[in-house]
Amino acid sequence: MPSDTPLSRLTAALSATVVGQPHVIADLVTAFLARGHVLLEGVPGVAKTLIARSMASALGLQFTRVQFTPDLMPTDILGTNVFHPAENAFRLVRGPVFTEVLVADEINRTPPKTQAALLEAMEERQVTIDGITHPLPPHFFVVATQNPLELEGTYPLPEAQLDRFLMRVRVSYPDSDAEVAMLRGFHQREGKPATVERVLEVPTLMELQTRAARVTCDESILAYVVKLARETRAHPRVRLGASPRSAQAVLAAAKARAALQGADFVTPDEVKAVVPSVLNHRLLLKAEAEVEGVTTDDVLRQTLEQVKVPR
């Protein structure tokens, strides 16, 4: 990535706070450039919430954090119309979804009914309350976190909800050196939480997103993306492969990754870089595959190896 550009300053600011997770930062910035949303998945304590909050702070956008719990209701997210006797009229009390960056913390600890409250907001950047549509900012960005499903008190996200996320990014344990650096920073801050300063202005953000959408893409790249999607459908361990909309998501993410790298055209390397995070939550495996311990990551790894790369 070229030095001293808006994107390099953004990634540098995030890397200074989120230590040892370069692939997470790259995917997070890629998703924002592509106007998509991100689901961060990992065990408790690997800085998922810190990553989400740091991204919001670095972008300098208004952000709201919602802690998803089993008793959370859709109106707790969207808001509701409240009757005011003095005015003899209903007035909308807006919920936390009316923001620019929504941090949905532990989204899979609330039932599907409440998760579904975000469907319209994430897809159309608007919400409908009592039949009236209310627009959200054009750069509305959801960063959700979730714990692995095998942990206590989690609910699986419905396929329709998962599909609203451009990327599902797995946040793993950092390596030893990164963990030492993390502890060093914690010690030097005397236990205070890490903070990120704003590095970009809103007009710059919009310009970067527009530039990413205009990245050039050769016909061979389009064919490569389609071949990858069709290969997942033909895989013997897959019950439901990547849809045409999934292929569109791969292309949008690849264009954004090229923009992040400072390029004005897409290469197969950008496609291969984004496929795991864009498609790992969009494939449904057969029951026997899950029994055998096969994962969607395994399927995507095989797919990338089998499909010929265009030259």
What CATH number has the domain bearing residue 299?
A: 1.10.8.80
Detail the DSSP E strand segments found in the chain.
Answer: 38-41, 63-67, 79-84, 89-94, 101-105, 126-129, 132-135, 141-146, 167-170, 238-240, 284-285
Residue 22 lies in a domain: yes
Q: Are 218 and 172 in the same domain?
A: no
pLDDT of residue 217: 94
Asked whether residue 88 falls in the same domain as residue 18, the answer is yes
* pLDDT of res. 160: 83
Q: Are residues 34 and 121 in the same domain?
A: yes
> Are 165 and 283 members of one domain?
no
Both 184 and 218 in one domain: the answer is no
Q: Please give the model's pTM, rounded to 2 decimal places.
A: 0.90
Q: Could you give the 3-state DSSP secondary structure of residue 39? A: strand
pLDDT at 149: 62
Asked, for residue 126, whether it belongs to a domain, the answer is yes
- Specify if 44 maps to a domain: yes
**pLDDT for the residue 1:** 62
Write down which residue in 153, 172, 203 finishes a domain: 203
Q: Tell me: do 219 and 184 sit in the same domain.
A: no
Quote the pLDDT of residue 2.
Answer: 61
- Most distant CA pair in the chain, distance: 71
Look at residue 209 and tell me if it is in a domain.
no
Which domain-ending residue is among 169, 203, 237? 203
Find all residues with CB under 8 Å of 255, minimum gap 6, and list them: 34, 212, 213, 215, 217, 266, 270
**Quick check: is 291 in a domain?**
yes
> 32 and 177 in one domain?
yes
How large is the C-alpha radius of gyration of the chain?
A: 20
Number of domains in the chain: 2
Q: Are 265 and 222 in contact, with CB atoms under 8 Å apart? A: no
Is position 27 within any domain? yes
Take residue 130 and report the two structure tokens written for it. Answer: 């009592």
* Location of structure tokens 């990120």: 196
Q: Which of 140, 174, 203 is the last residue of a domain?
A: 203
Identify the pLDDT of residue 157: 83
Identify whether residues 89 and 234 lie together within a single domain: no
What does the pLDDT profile of the chain (311 residues) look like in tens digits? 666 688 888 898 888 888 888 899 999 999 999 999 999 998 887 888 888 888 888 888 888 999 998 899 999 999 998 888 888 788 888 999 999 999 998 888 888 888 888 999 999 999 998 889 999 998 899 999 887 765 566 777 888 888 899 999 998 888 898 889 888 888 888 777 777 888 888 888 889 999 999 999 999 999 999 999 999 999 999 999 999 999 999 999 999 999 999 999 999 999 999 999 999 999 999 989 888 889 999 999 999 999 999 87
Residue 221 and residue 145 share a domain:
no
Classify residue 270: in a domain, yes or no: yes
The verdict on 65 and 177 lying in the same domain is yes
Distance of CA 82 to the CA centre of its chain: 33
Residue 83 belongs to domain with CATH number: 3.40.50.300
The sheet carrying 38-41 orders its strands as 63-67, 101-105, 141-146, 38-41, 167-170
Sign of CA dihedral 63, 165, 20, 174: positive
- What is the residue range of 137's domain? 6-189+198-203
Residues 165 and 220 reside in one and the same domain: no
**Do 226 and 90 fall into the same domain?**
no
User: In this structure, is residue 295 part of a structural domain?
Assistant: yes
SS3 per residue for 151-197:
CCCCCCCCHHHHHCCCEEEECCCCCHHHHHHHHHHHHHCCCCCCCCC
